[in-house]
Amino acid sequence: MTARAPASAATKGTMTSTRTTATRHRALLGSGAVLLLAATAACTSVDGGGGSTSATSGGSALETLQDRGTITVGFAGEAPYSYEDGGELTGATVALHREIFAELGIDTVEGVNTEFGSLIPGLTANRFDAVSAGMSILPDRCAQAAFSEPEFMYTTAFMTPEGNPDGLTDMQSAADAGITLATMTGAIEGDYARQLGIDNLEVGTPQDGLDAVVAGRADAFALTGISLNHLADSTDAPVEVTESFVAEIDGVPQIGAGGTVFRTSDTDLLEAYNEKLAEIVADEDRYLDIVGEFGFTAAERPVEGLTTEKLCEGDLDALATELAPELGSDS
């Protein structure tokens, strides 16, 4: 049957082989079945990832979250918007979220750390229920996800080696200098670079951008002024941050504002969130109370008349004219 029966000790093996092979095959079958079961469970699991929800048919995400008492948000470790400090999730957007969700009856905010570029896909895949990264509200993105009303206005800045050797002041100067600019994958600064024809190196996280400048693989790193200042403060690396500016493409100031992102299907959650957000934004003191400790100032508070709808439409020229009076006093 199997190889010819050999010397004594091995015969013992063949003698008991039938029973042990049978047990082994049963074990293999059993583990195979378990694996299959686990796979189907994982596949159809509604509670995928870090305990995120998917609205049950007819039910609402808001109610599910309120019952749970916890919401899971995605963040990209971009200080000071949302990052981990000593294992604790913190940051300006996180503080805002904690305040707003608490008012909605959701007491705990947990985070899933991921690359910036994975935030929206992760949201779609139900790995988290909201994106807490102060994401820029852009027309392309509005088609894929539901933005809250603006939470911050932001300006762009460059992180350069100490002394700013290329003399960078704004996007046009970067284009003129012919430098290699590092930007985060999925972030707006990459779009600016591409539109102006600047040589673009994409990185996954703010830390990678810093590393790229320090290592000399990029001449500068473009990100929001607030993030870069925070990043520069937290490291000894020989870098500095330029003055913040509003990026201008073809003479049109790229007014930028960021918000929280929800799935397009979670409409009730979005509405409830916007309601509470409006209360906070309207009250300058309360706004600064929440986000002030992270380095945000009155300049970042969204101005009256700046709405997600207008930003999604994308007519920045008209927007700039319309908001000129408010922006004049703010910037």
| Residue span binding another protein (CB under 8 A) among the ranges 169-177, 196-204, 269-277, 295-303 | 196-204
Cβ proximity to another protein, 39 vs 298, nearer residue: 39
121 binds another protein (CB under 8 A): yes
Give one DSSP letter per residue of 300-327, joined into a string: GSPPTT--HHHHHHT-HHHHHHHHHHHH
Q: How far is the CB of 35 from another protein (least distance, A)?
A: 6
* The dihedral formed by the CA atoms of 193, 199, 205 and 211, expressed in degrees to the nearest 10: -130
CB 128 within 8 A of CB 90: no
330 binds another protein (CB under 8 A): no
Stretch (H or E) spanning 199: strand 199-203
Size of the site for another protein (CB under 8 A): 61
Cα separation, 75 vs 93, whole angstroms: 10
2 binds another protein (CB under 8 A): yes
| Residue span binding another protein (CB under 8 A) among the ranges 185-193, 240-248, 270-278, 308-316 | 185-193
Pair of tokens at residue 322? 């319309």
Q: How far is the CB of 309 from another protein (least distance, A)?
A: 19
Residues 5-64 contacting another protein, CB under 8 A? 5-7, 9-11, 13-14, 17, 21, 25, 31-32, 35, 38-39, 42-46, 48-49, 54
Which amino acid belongs to residue 169?
T
Q: How far is the CB of 218 from another protein (least distance, A)?
A: 10
Give one DSSP letter per residue of 157-169, joined into a string: EEEEETT-TT---
Cβ proximity to another protein, 235 vs 297, nearer residue: 235
Contacts with another protein, 125-154, as mask; x by CB under 8 A: xxx------------xx-xxx---------
Which amino acid belongs to residue 130?
A
For 253-286, b/e burial (b = at least 16 CB within 10 A) is: bbbbbbbbbbbeebeebbebbbebbeebbeeeee
Sequence-distant (6+) residues with CB within 8 A of 288 are 296, 297, 298, 301
Cβ proximity to another protein, 146 vs 281, nearer residue: 146
Kindly give the pairing relationship between strand 108-113 and strand 130-136.
unpaired
Query: Which of 202, 240, 322, 330 is the binder for another protein (CB under 8 A)?
Result: 202
CB 257 within 8 A of CB 296: no
Residues 90-119 contacting another protein, CB under 8 A? 112-118
Sequence-distant (6+) residues with CB within 8 A of 261 are 119, 120, 123, 130, 131, 135, 141, 145, 146, 147, 148
Q: How far is the CB of 225 from another protein (least distance, A)?
A: 22
Cβ proximity to another protein, 173 vs 185, nearer residue: 185
Cβ proximity to another protein, 201 vs 327, nearer residue: 201
Cβ proximity to another protein, 211 vs 326, nearer residue: 211
CB 283 within 8 A of CB 175: no
Residues lying near another protein in the complex (CB under 8 A): 1-7, 9-11, 13-14, 17, 21, 25, 31-32, 35, 38-39, 42-46, 48-49, 54, 112-118, 120-122, 124-127, 140-141, 143-145, 185-186, 190-191, 201-203, 207, 211, 214-217, 264
